[in-house]
Structure formats: C-alpha cells, structure tokens
Amino acid sequence: MRKSLVQDTLIAAAAVAAAAVLPLLPAAAQDGRDAVVAHVEAGGERYAAMAQQIWDWAEVGYQETRSSALLRDALAEAGFEVDEGVAGMPTAFVASWGAGSPVIGILAEYDALPGITQDRAPERAPRPDMGAGHACGHHLFGAGSVAAALAVKAWLEESGTPGTVRLYGTPAEEGGAGKVYMVRGGLFEDVDAVLHWHPGNANEASPSSSLANKSAKFRFHGVSAHAAGAPEQGRSALDGVEAMNHMVNLLREHVPQETRIHYVITAGGHAPNVIPDFAEVFYYVRNPDPELVKSIFERVARAAEGAAMGTGTRMEYEVVHGLFAMLPNETLQRRAQKNLERVGGVVYDDAERAFAEAIHATLQEDSPPLESAAEVQPYMPRAAGGSTDVADVSWVVPTVGMSAATWVPGTPAHSWQAIAAGGTSIGEKGMLVAAKTLAMTAVELFTDPDLVAAAIAERLERVGPDFEYVSLVGDRDPPLDYRNPPGAR
Ligand SMILES: [Zn+2]
Ligand SMILES: [Zn+2]
C-alpha cells in the first residue's frame, strides 16, 4: 500500500526538524513574549465580547458582512491598514501594520454553519430564530486571531522591532475555500510565516495533516411529464442523480483506503406525480493526496456522464471547492508547543465546571475527562479526518497551527455541544489560550531570523524542488452564492 502524503512529508521532515534544535531565545523574544501575553490579557473582555457578537450573528460563508466589518474595524482603529474585498470576495480582507520584513501572517475565520443552531445551554436547545450556528467555533477563531495581531502590533510598536504583522480575514472556510482564492491571487507571496489556530476540545500544537478535498454540484436536466399519464414522454432528472450515486457507491470498492466520498441530494423534484426536470447532487471527494483527489474526482465525473447518458438526461457540474492537504512544519510546531505549554490550558471556575459536566454527560462515554481541558497534550504528529483551506496556505508559506480547548473535552466539531460551549466563557478562555500562544510564537519569528530561515527550508524540502501551486478549484471565481438554496441562483 502506498504511504500517505502525510507519512511521506513527516518522514522527510524528521531530519530537518532534528537539525533545527535552535539556540536559547534572545532576550528580546523573552520580554516580547511576556509583553504580548499582557496585551492579550488586558483586552480579554473586549475580545470575548467581539466573539459573542459574531456568535449571535452566525453569518454563513461569503455572507459574513457584519462579522468581517467588526474585525476590520478593530484592526483599523489600532492603526492597521485594511484592504477590503480582496481576491474577489466582499467579506475577505488583509490588515497590515508595520514595515519591511519579516512579514508574519495570522489567519482569522468567521463563518458559521447553516442548519444547526443551539442556545447557550448545556442541554439540546435549538434556536428557531437563527438559521445557522457557530458549530465550528469560527467566532472565536476570528476574535482570537485579531487579539493576537493587536497584541503583536502593540509590542512591535513599543519595542521598535522591525517587521510587518498581517491579519488575513478569510471568509467561507466551511466549503467556500476563501483562502484558496487568496493564495491563488498571490496575497501570501511576500509572507515569511503564517500562524493559525482552531477551536477544539483539547489544547495541542502537534503537527497535523488534513485531507485534500474537491467538491462539485452535479446538475441533471430532464423532461417533465405526468408520472402516470404520460411517463413515456418524461425523462427524470432524479433518475440521473440516482444512477450516478449507484455507480459512485460501486466505485468506493476500487479507491485507496483513506478515500472519503460523500454526497447530499440538494434537489430531487417536488411531487411524485411530476417527473422532475431538474435534480442536483452535491459531492465531496477526499484523500490525503491532492493528486489522488484529482484522479478520483475525474472518475466520479465520468459516472455522472454515464448516468446522464443512460437516463436520457443532460448533466453539467460546477466545482464548488478544492483544498490541498495540510503540510505540517515541525520547525514551527515545536515552538508553538513550547509556547502553548507555557500558557497552559483552560481552568474552569465553578459555574463553568457545572456547565461542562452537563455537556459532558451528553457526549460519548469514552470522552476524555473534564480535567484534560486544563492540560496541554503531548507533541505527536497526527493525521486529521477533515479538510481545511488553511492547507493551501501551508504549501506556499511555512504555516503553524494549534487548537485550544474552547469546547468541553470529547465534543466533536459541528455539534450543538460546540455551539453551546463556544457561546460561553469556556469558549472565551480557550480563545485567549490560543491568542497568547500565537502572539508568543509570532514574537519568536520577529526576533529570530534563523527560525524563519529553518521554517522556510523545511517547507521547501517537503514540497520538493518541482512544486508549483495549482489550485484544485481551477480558474473558477469564488462561489459567492454557494450558501444560497438551489433554485435561488
Ligand atoms: Zn468546520
Ligand atoms: Zn472550522
């Protein structure tokens, strides 16, 4: 069996990482790390309020108008130069402060997930008044990253350290691949390193990968007729979808083990007695290796063509998003781990503990204990099952990430339990753990040119000499309407 890309890159980098045992921190970094932690703490209540505001708005991909503006305004107010509407996306922005190199980027996300809502309660309590919820914690991701950027800016200014800190406002992470268009548009070309984080149910800064992913909406067009009175005159678009799904389900037996293929039927007709003239199925194809994703996706598209041929319908498809697999950078991850250990995890007060216990009782029995929220997980390379558009950034700039326990231990992403805890001080505390860790790691990058050089060398070694970034979305424009219901387009 072919080794996964993750294994290849982790092995290839082991030598680089072993060689990158770097000297003790310069005094400037030591002081700088204390300074940024103090800045994050001083703004803690304000950042928490920003996160809760974005939680309340719960805006979905490419519609994060207010959330994006809230973060932009906070940065502009602190003196950042803000470019809005970059790379053809109205809710994307780049905010910069400082001059010259190094240029250190910090990523922020702020989109919510449609169709899942929950109140700030430790038992299931949907919010019929909301169409979406922050089940992936991106409200914390956005506000926490802005907190880190503002702290770094304050320290750069007061210490007179040269360099540029840049906050990337990246919309539509959930299926809209906002970062892919920013990478494709060259917005990361002059950046030396990028920091990001993600809300989670544990504190960890281990190198982790993700699955490359390509998605598309397959649209079948048939002919309507009375399903009983004149069936011979109709051609069912839904038949096209069903035939395609059947073929793809057979195809599952003949793809590499780590492959994931999933779909939902987003349009399938309206009434059984009307042969549907339109049907649509939305597919994701994932594998750790972006090249394999491309080839498996082509086979899925061939199944769609065959289905249309056999059912007498017409098919066209639209690629919705395409993501690389995350490229770890151990040089930077080891630094982030050290900083995270210094910050420590999330310690609950009595009210938070009671809330967490109630949530914990709704999770699987083998969930980690509540106490683990206060711990930092050991450094250990991991492969992740999901996908993220951060991956595309990681192939063009050394990228370092971490997660913080913004959710009760054992909570899966995209769950009501994640929305609930993320809307409380548990989420806020986890967010500040991340903001401090990112800011401290940024201080090291600003004060240690050898660290930056080692990180860049590791990225170059992992991608190989012939690598040239070609996005999996091809030349399509950002799918600004991808969260609109079918038929609204
Ligand atoms: Zn998510
Ligand atoms: Zn997420």
Tokens of 280: 């649509």
Question: 101: buried, middle or exposed (CB in 10 Å: 19+, 13-18, 0-12)?
Answer: middle
In the prediction, which pLDDT does 487 show? 53
Tokens read off for 1: 């069996």
- Quick check: 143 and 44 in contact, CB under 8 A? no
Q: How far is the CA of 401 from the centre of ligand 2 (A)?
A: 13
Q: How far is the CA of 62 from the centre of ligand 1 (A)?
A: 15
Q: Which amino acid is at 16?
A: V
CA of 475 to the centre of ligand 2 (A): 25
Q: What CATH superfamily classification does 5-209+325-463 receive?
A: Zn peptidases (3.40.630.10)
Name the packing angle between helices 27-42 and 138-159 (round to 10°): 130
Could you tell me which residues come within 8 angstroms of residue 255 by beta carbon, excluding any fewer than 6 positions away? 261, 287, 296
Residues 6+ apart with CB under 8 A from 213: 284, 285, 286, 293, 321, 322, 323, 387, 472
Q: Which amino acid is at 239?
A: D
Cβ distance 129 to 119 under 8 Å?
Answer: no
Say what the pLDDT of residue 18 is. Answer: 45
Residue 14: per-residue pLDDT: 47
C-alpha distances in angstroms, 163 versus 108, 155, 169? 20, 11, 20
CA dist 458 → 21, 265, 452, 462 (Å): 13, 42, 10, 6
Distances 109 to 5, 145, 285, 325 between C-alpha atoms, Å? 26, 9, 23, 18
CA of 134 to the centre of ligand 2 (A): 9
Kindly give the distance from the C-alpha atom of residue 213 to the centroid of ligand 2, in angstroms, as a whole number: 15
The answer to whether residues 473 and 319 touch, using CB atoms and an 8 Å cutoff, is yes
Q: Which ligand is nearest to the CA of 200?
A: 2
> For the chain, which residues make up each domain, given as ranges?
5-209+325-463, 212-320
Cα-to-centroid distance, 49 and ligand 1 (Å): 22
Q: Which residues of the chain have pLDDT under 70?
A: 1-25, 486-489
Residue in the structure block whose two tokens are 């800011």: 439
Average pLDDT, the chain: 94
Closest by CA to 469, choosing from 105, 246, 51, 180, is 180
**Ligand 2 midpoint to CA 138 (Å):** 6
Residue 290, both tokens: 């972006």
Quote the CA–CA distance of 197 and 140 in Å, as a whole number: 10
Selection from 216, 220, 218, 219 nearest residue 311 by Cα? 220
Identify the pLDDT of residue 19.
43
Pairwise CA distance, residues 488 & 316, whole Å: 18
At residue 4, the pLDDT reads: 44
Supply the pLDDT for residue 24: 63
Amino acid identity for residue 220 in this structure: F
**Fold classification of 212-320 (topology level):** Alpha-Beta Plaits (3.30.70)
Tell me, what's the pLDDT at 28?
A: 72
Ligand closest to the CA atom of residue 386: 1
